[in-house]
Chains A and B, each alone.
Chain A
Amino acid sequence: MMQDSQPSGSRDPLLKVENLVVEYAVGGKTIHAVSDVSLQVARGETLGLVGESGCGKSTLGRAVLQLRRAVSGRVLFDGHDLTAMQGDALRQMRRRVQLIFQDPIASLNPRRRIGDIIAEPLVISGVKDPKKRQELVCEVLSAVGLDPSLVIGRLPHEFSGGQCQRICIARALVLNPEFIICDEPVSALDVSIRAQILNLLEEMKARYGLTLLFIAHDLAVVKAVSDRVAVMYLGRLCEVGPSEQLFARPAHPYTALLIEAIPVPDPDVRPAESVPVGEPPSPISPPSGCRFRTRCPRADQRCADEVPELRKVAPDQFAACHHPLIAAG
């Protein structure tokens, strides 16, 4: 149950993304990766961000950290506009925001020892005393369930994927950040390991008082950890709302399609045979109006003419659809 009935905007937002637009130039063409997306993440909250490949969810995560500069729009972190920051000021802010990637093995330098990998952010941020660094490294390693004495001197290839992800989480935690962007942190892991890492993220969130942006394509995984969920399609936000409410009563037809397409591990639940045909169109020339209209069973002329605005459909739940599955209460 959500204990908070206020609209999410009026809670204390740690991160505010306002009308963010990110584009890539590829071979003389423009990829509209993120188009006019606005989001908020309240302090202490986990916001799940779901969508299929190419929907712009990872780009959005990177644009928050200014690893990819926005064409327009603002990213406010704790009131500071990151899009206006450069150099040292930005580096200082980045200490407070960390990133965990999908492929844990590829995101660790194969030639460096684990102890050095985790100490690196401390070196960069100016912790000069090696003893102090060692102490902090050992502390985070124990926190993520690894024995520092067995781990520090070893190289990444000596560890399994799940252990490497623990190491990446330790590296993200070592600067004691407030906000962590998790970009598909468990999709490269096996089912039994995935559950361990999801539980670990929840534990770390409680222990370090973190706020999380959890990016994933798997709705069940997102629901397991998120207070609220935002759904993206082809660069635009379709729907955002409290997790349980969104899954019980999706308003956007795309959210409903995603939920329907999840394979359920129960032989009595026959797979829906009615999954709409077609694939997401190219983000180089997205459809006019609502970008989902080419696959949407409810689409009409209005959907082609007019970009749907994000509108309130239920308490705390907003959908960008001209013909939502639930009407505003």
Chain B
Amino acid sequence: MTEPALLSVEEVSVDLPTPRGNLRAVDHVDLKIGAGRTLGIVGESGCGKTMLSRAILQLLPKKAKLSGRVMFDGQDLVRLEPERLRKLRGRSLAVVFQDPMTSLNPVLTVGTQLIETLQEHLELDGHAAKRRRAELLAAVGIPAPEQRLMQYPHQLSGGMRQRVAIAIALSCEPKLLIADEPTTALDVTIQAQILDLLAREQRRRHMAMILITHDLGVVAGRTDEVAVMYAGRVVERAPTPALFKKMRMPYTEALLAAIPKIDAAPHTPLPAISGRPPDPTRPIQGCSFSPRCRYAADQCYREKPLLAAAESLDHQYACFHPIQITAGVDA
């Protein structure tokens, strides 16, 4: 149980200078993930989930200011020399982005792109690398891999491209894979295939994974733990079953309620969240969800609630007026 964390994000904040003033994209985030575990990070656009993943990968825009520590496998990535960081990324720390068309190089064949990664990190000779790359494509469910190696990204469908991106990410047996909205650009039947593929490869390799998504449905069946982000902060964090059964943060509840349910009758009005997320260049004094929260009271507008553990150590939330009742009808 008390396995040391593979990745531990400590007090990480990211500030971006913009013409309208400083934008705090990530605000004091603490997260941990153990080897072989899956953490889901859920939130809407602009909540800071992608900036957080870029802070972990040290791939922030040049102008961004990062504070805090990112401990990965015993090293602080924030203070690591660029050369050692480069060796680590792609080797034990891999990433799959949302849009495989922009993450793959359009002028190189699939085969060349796989070889590049393998030779860079594993120092395989040409022969071994060539054998390895066809195996990798087969492992991610690409039919006729030998032919695909000769093709360019534009000759593949979106789903196939994402499989190639996953093959490249997995090629060096990473310890942690960050999947940033890996299926958002894909159709629903292809989404299910790609999520299955990620889950299968993760189990097989005992690899840790951070699955970043805007869709609570995607994290529900496929993660061990979920962190919900709002306006740059983690507002609730819990083991997945607890989050869905005993959510405490009103934002989590509202987000779940706003999803159209497949078993609801047509024309049922959706409990929408009124308003919209705050402007990140104009920080709100109290709880950043308070202007949209139906439970908000005086204290919520004045003070910022801290993320704190409640009934159990692993369920944390940042709210003065947590939801007490159990969600769901007969949970």
Known: A244-B266, A269-B221. A275 touches B189 (CB 8 A): yes
Closest B residue to A272 by beta carbon equals: B192
A244-B265, A261-B191 as given contacts; A195 in contact with B272, CB under 8 Å: yes
Chain B residues with CB under 8 A of A155: none
Whether B191 lies near A225 (C-beta < 8 A) is no
CA distance A162 to B276 in the complex (A): 9
Report the bound CA distance from A160 to B263 in whole Å: 31
Task: Kindly state whether residue A158 has any CB partner on chain B within 8 Å.
Answer: no
What's the count of A-B pairs with C-beta under 8 Å?
A: 139
Q: Judge whether B276 and A193 touch: CB under 8 Å.
A: yes
Please, which residues of chain A bring their CB within 8 A of the CB of B276?
Answer: 160, 162, 192-193
Let me know if B196 and A273 touch, CB within 8 A.
Answer: yes
Say if the beta carbon of A110 comes within 8 Å of chain B. Answer: no
Interface hub of A257, A259, A265, A270 (most chain B Cβ within 10 A): A265
Residues on A with beta carbons closer than 8 Å to the beta carbon of B273: 192, 195-196
CA distance A243 to B241 in the complex (A): 30
Residue A224 at the chain B interface, CB threshold 8 Å? yes
Q: A52-B188, A265-B256 are in contact. Are A191 and B196 (CB under 8 A)?
A: no
With known contacts A190-B45, A264-B221, A265-B220, A227–B266 Cβ distance under 8 A: yes
The residues of B that contact A27 with a CB separation of less than 8 Å are none
Of residues A192, A199, A244, which shows the largest number of chain B Cβ atoms within 10 Å of its Cβ? A192
- Complex CA distance for A277 and B141, rounded to whole angstroms: 9
CB of A231 to closest CB in B, whole Å: 12
Residues of chain A within 8 A (CB-CB) of B266 are 223-227, 243-244
CB distance from A312 to the nearest CB of B (A): 21
The majority secondary structure among interface residues of chain B is: loop
Q: Does B90 contact A (CB under 8 A)?
A: no
Q: Which residues of B contact A268 (CB under 8 A)?
A: 241
Contacts of B269 in A (CB 8 A): 199, 202
- Residues from chain B with Cβ under 8 Å of A224 in the complex: 260, 264, 266-268, 270
For chain A, which range describes its interface: under 10, 10 to 19, 20 to 34, or 35 or more residues?
A: 35 or more
Whether A267 and B189, one on each chain, are in contact in the complex, defined by CB atoms closer than 8 angstroms, is: no
CB distance from A122 to the nearest CB of B (A): 29
Chain A residues within 8 Å of B61, by CB: none
Q: Which chain A residues numbered 171 to 198 have a C-beta less than 8 Å away from chain B? A: 190-196, 198
A223 adjacent to B244 (CB under 8 Å): no
Verify B262–A192 contact, CB threshold 8 A.
no
B193 within 8 A of A: yes
List the A side residues contacting B160 at CB < 8 Å.
Answer: 279
Q: Is the CB of A191 within 8 A of B221?
A: no
A-side contacts of B261, CB under 8 Å: 220
B271-A271 in contact (CB<8A): no
Chain B residues with Cβ under 8 A from A272's Cβ? 192
Whether A220 contacts B187 by the Cβ 8 Å rule is no
Additional 12 contacts, C-beta under 8 A, given A262-B217, A266-B221: A1-B265, A52-B188, A191-B255, A223-B262, A226-B266, A227-B266, A261-B188, A263-B191, A263-B217, A263-B220, A267-B245, A276-B189
Where the two chains meet, the residues of B that have a C-beta atom closer than 8 Å to any C-beta of A are: 44-45, 141, 157-160, 187-193, 195-196, 214-218, 220-222, 240-241, 244-245, 254-256, 258-274, 276
Q: List 5 A-B contacts (CB under 8 A).
A: A192-B258, A195-B258, A261-B189, A267-B245, A275-B193
